[in-house]
Structure 1
Amino acid sequence: MSGPYVIGCDVGSQGTNSALYSADGTLVASAYQAYDVVFPRPGWAEQDPVLWTRALHASIRRLLEQVPEGPSSVKALSFGSQLDGMVVCDAKGRALRPAMIWMDRRAEAQAAALAERMVPREFYHHVGANLDSSHAVFKALWVRDEQPEIFSRAATLMPPGSYVLREASGVLAVDYSNASSLALLDPRSRTWSQPVLDAVNIDARMLPELAPATSRVGTVTQQFAEATGLTPETAVIVGCGDEMAATLGAGVYAPGEVCDVVGTAEPVCAVSTRPREDQTMLVECHPHADPSSWLLENPGFVSGGNLRWWRDQLCPVERDAEARGQGEAYDLVTAPAAQVPAGAEGLIFLPCMQGAMAPEWNGAARGVFTASPWRIPRRI
């Protein structure tokens, strides 16, 4: 396989996966760099944005080690990034506090306060998203209410995708899919929703500039080039939210096609050629990476994140075995479970470790194991 190449970086909830592709879309190499989610209190979930930048540096460096033609053969870089997070930054783009990521539910009071001023269905009509504390705007309101000394120094409110884009290119921008996860974008016009901005008292000048996912914003900064090994001529493309990128990558781009995106969470997505409203408000409507399409989706539950929680909290033997080179901890954890017959011998797990979005949106929902106590084997 020979160049030219492009690099796509999935800046996820548990790590960043960077992948090198040839011009015809063939995967040449990939590199993964893990990082942690911090849970300071029940319902809170944070990450230091610096970890995203370091993971990009490390994973891209490892990719370039596998490019025989050298870094000049890599022509462009772009991102698929976790949605619904909030990064509060100063005028220089520095995060003023840890990012509150998508599974953070601390802003229940802020969501409830807005629901007293704006009917949830009206909110849904304006922005295609539920009036729910998982969406990023409510996390910004929490900072304004609970950490006013930090908010007073804030110049920009941005999702994770905008943060890494700025780190790579020096340009502050957001594509329509990431902007939609702020719950401040009108999905029909693809412009900021003034009625919602007025309702939450946020100035649009605090938000990144809107741009299509395919926009070229410039080239990598000298600092980013030195940290990764890329050449300063490498183009930077805005990119999109991870659900949108995963759906496209799965080949789901035509109306009527549906994709289950299994990751830290497990959203289910369908493509539409027009913006649509769900009368039950179970399904949300977001602009797709394709400018002629919209993505109808429900974020689902924490999925792979629950497996990581199980490994980290309840499987010290398997983790120790991995440290001794005796296999991957995940494989050691799941191998006994694979021997359990369908139905799990009556064991049921409700995966609402950070609230639920199905069968209804409920931030107070919590995870539960239920079964006859006489029939719970260790191999669960």
Structure 2
Amino acid sequence: MGKYVLSIDCGTQSLRGIIFDKHGNLLVKVKKEFTPYYSVEPGWAEQDPDIYWQRLCETTQAIKEQEPDIFGAIDSIVVTTQRDSCVLLDKQGQVVRPAILWMDQRKIKKPREMNLYHKLTIAAVGMLPTANKFSMNCNAHWIQEYEPENWKKTYKYLQISGYLNYKLTGEFKDSIASQIGHIPFNYKKFRWDHKNGQKSQLFHIEKEKLCDLVAPGKLIGTITEGTAKETGLRAGIKVIAGGSDKGCETLGVGCFNNHTASISLGSNASIQTTTKKYYEALRFICPFPAVIMGAYNPEIQIYRGYWMISWFKKEFAQKEVRQAKELNISPEELLNKRLNDVSPGCDGLVFQPFWGPGAKRPEGKGAIIGFDDYHTRIHIYRAIIEGIGFGLFEGLGYIEKKSGKTIDRIMISGGGSQSDAICQITADLFNRPVYRVQTYETSGLGAAIIGYVAQGEYKSYKDAVKNMVRIKDAFQPDEKNVAIYKNIYEDIYRKIYKKLKPLYKAMHG
């Protein structure tokens, strides 16, 4: 038996412990769910960080019980988590307050001041409103303003990945590839920004409150004796710097260059690619650090993307929820079987998926137009799927324009990718072949790839991907459906936001 990598994948709704072998075969998977967040005020989204740690311990103990031989051969651990969610710890490593998550909508009343140079240069390119929005949405700024006593207690301001790495090793360290959020991180140079840098001027967080950064694939620390007792893991196991969930997904589907795009159909839907060249797909929106050191992941995201499916289930699909429980399958599986009952274009129903203020469209709202008396709830369901697809397709255009490269194939992952119907809709809408690899747990697979390269099992990520990632399914565009989607996108979808923007602004007051 070889040496294994344990991937810890902490998402919005569950934590998974996954072990792949060096050939990319999934050997063990344990999933522990939790309530995504709670709200003590409208628009807030918080969680007790200890929930993540408790689920991690439950996961490792379950793996130990189910597969003791494989568990005993774990050589290293790689953590990948949801992004832009902050955890505050005091000097003793105790949680100061609940974590504020990526979907939280609280903000301060006015942006923080920045020096005149950056204010003028940002204003000169028309991006001052966007910069002000970033500043107002910074969780650290809200805590500083409304909970100054908690900010004073804060010794380290961490991402969820940094928190879990600390709990495992006792080290206040995190991967460079996990630093995605409203933080003073210099995305171009892969380090914390200097005091007078643009990001430090946008996000006022003292440098001493930030963790030490480690390059992905390098050692963060080892499992402590105390952690060993809680998790069942062997003391001394190496904890290797990983990356964000989206970054690991992109590696896990083998997306290495500007000719391939990685679509993630998760709670936050996104399309990104990998490049050695720094470019902003949308002006002022930095490409994120890739898990391949020195590379970037330019990304366009649909805020709360497939979370909208959770909303739909709750509000419209209780029948499927009950049936699924009886059949011991997911409600999505039942709903997805009915997608093909509705023709492409949903008989005139079009959905705009702006369910949260985006960086470039701060006043944006969700919209669905074209209702008639023959539309059903399944029409609405398919319209949501197609609307997210249109939003991602728009993002592909931005990426191609800025990179100067044509994307000729799509790799797809995330919960939505389990559906053949959704994969086919994506192929038709993008007019490109869509490929699905051997597992939809691509974030965990990407983390495992990092671990096996760090072990020296493979000399490079390219070599590891060649041996660990396999295309399982291919979906080719249907010419008839391609034409339908092209007409809807050009004639309707692209025009919705411009037409509704004045109404959105009026709604914001």
With the shorter chain as reference, the TM-score category is 0.7 to 0.9
SS, match of residue 75 in structure 2: strand
Aligned position for 1:98 = 98
Superposition deviation, residue 228 in structure 1 = 2.6
Structure with more helix by fraction? 2
Aligned position for 2:269 = 266
Aligned position for 2:260 = 257
Aligned position for 2:236 = 233
**Gaps in structure 1 of 5+ consecutive residues:** none
Give the residue type in structure 1 aligned to 2:76. Answer: A
Aligned position for 1:30 = 29
Aligned position for 1:348 = 350
CA distance in 2, matches of 1:264, 1:121: 35
* CA spacing shift, 1:18–1:343, aligned 2, 3 Å: same
Query: 1:203 aligned to 2:224?
Result: no
CA distance in 2, matches of 1:221, 1:338: 52
Aligned position for 1:291 = 293
Superposition deviation, residue 79 in structure 1 = 1.0
Aligned position for 1:60 = 60
Q: Which moved more, 1:79-88 or 1:295-304?
A: 295-304
Aligned position for 1:13 = 12
Superposition deviation, residue 115 in structure 1 = 7.6
* CA spacing shift, 1:307–1:132, aligned 2, 3 Å: farther
CA distance in 1, matches of 2:227, 2:136: 27
Greater Rg by CA: 2
Aligned equivalent of 2:224, options 217, 221, 224: 221
Query: 1:371 aligned to 2:370?
Result: yes
* CA spacing shift, 1:351–1:286, aligned 2, 3 Å: same
Aligned equivalent of 2:246, options 207, 220, 243: 243
Aligned position for 2:78 = 78
Give the residue type in structure 2 aligned to 1:209. Answer: D
Give the residue type in structure 2 aligned to 1:271. Answer: T
Aligned position for 1:186 = 186
> Are the aligned partners of 2:267 and 2:307 in contact in 1 as well (CA < 8 Å)?
yes
Superposition deviation, residue 113 in structure 1 = 4.2
Give the residue type in structure 1 aligned to 2:352. Answer: L
Superposition deviation, residue 255 in structure 1 = 4.1
SS, match of residue 9 in structure 2: strand
* CA spacing shift, 1:222–1:338, aligned 2, 3 Å: farther
> Are the aligned partners of 2:106 and 2:137 in contact in 1 as well (CA < 8 Å)?
no
Task: Give a deviation string over 1:39-75, Cα, whole Å, max 9, x none.
Answer: 4444322222112112212222333344352532111
> Are the aligned partners of 2:271 and 2:299 in contact in 1 as well (CA < 8 Å)?
yes
**Gaps in structure 2 of 5+ consecutive residues:** 381-509
Q: Which moved more, 1:362-371 or 1:339-348?
A: 362-371
SS, match of residue 224 in structure 1: helix
Aligned position for 1:332 = 334
* CA spacing shift, 1:250–1:364, aligned 2, 3 Å: same
Count how many residue pairs are aligned between Structure 1 and Structure 2.
370
CA distance in 2, matches of 1:12, 1:179: 16
CA distance in 1, matches of 2:147, 2:168: 29
Aligned position for 1:147 = 147
> Are the aligned partners of 1:79 and 1:238 in contact in 2 as well (CA < 8 Å)?
yes
* CA spacing shift, 1:324–1:277, aligned 2, 3 Å: closer
Superposition deviation, residue 314 in structure 1 = 3.6
Superposition deviation, residue 347 in structure 1 = 2.2
Give the residue type in structure 1 aligned to 2:192. Answer: W
SS, match of residue 217 in structure 1: strand
CA distance in 1, matches of 2:59, 2:243: 19
Aligned position for 1:159 = 159
> Are the aligned partners of 1:85 and 1:135 in contact in 2 as well (CA < 8 Å)?
no
Aligned position for 1:362 = 361
Aligned position for 1:50 = 50
* CA spacing shift, 1:277–1:224, aligned 2, 3 Å: same
Superposition deviation, residue 108 in structure 1 = 5.8
Superposition deviation, residue 277 in structure 1 = 3.7
Identity %: 20
Return the TM-score normalized by structure 1: 0.87
Give the residue type in structure 2 aligned to 1:71. Answer: F
Superposition deviation, residue 242 in structure 1 = 1.1
CA distance in 2, matches of 1:227, 1:133: 41
CA distance in 2, matches of 1:251, 1:63: 27
* CA spacing shift, 1:346–1:87, aligned 2, 3 Å: same
Return the TM-score normalized by structure 2: 0.66
SS, match of residue 284 in structure 1: coil
* CA spacing shift, 1:176–1:64, aligned 2, 3 Å: same
Give the residue type in structure 2 aligned to 1:290. Answer: I
Give the residue type in structure 1 aligned to 2:358. Answer: A
Q: Which moved more, 1:314-323 or 1:214-223?
A: 314-323
Aligned equivalent of 2:215, options 201, 212, 215: 212
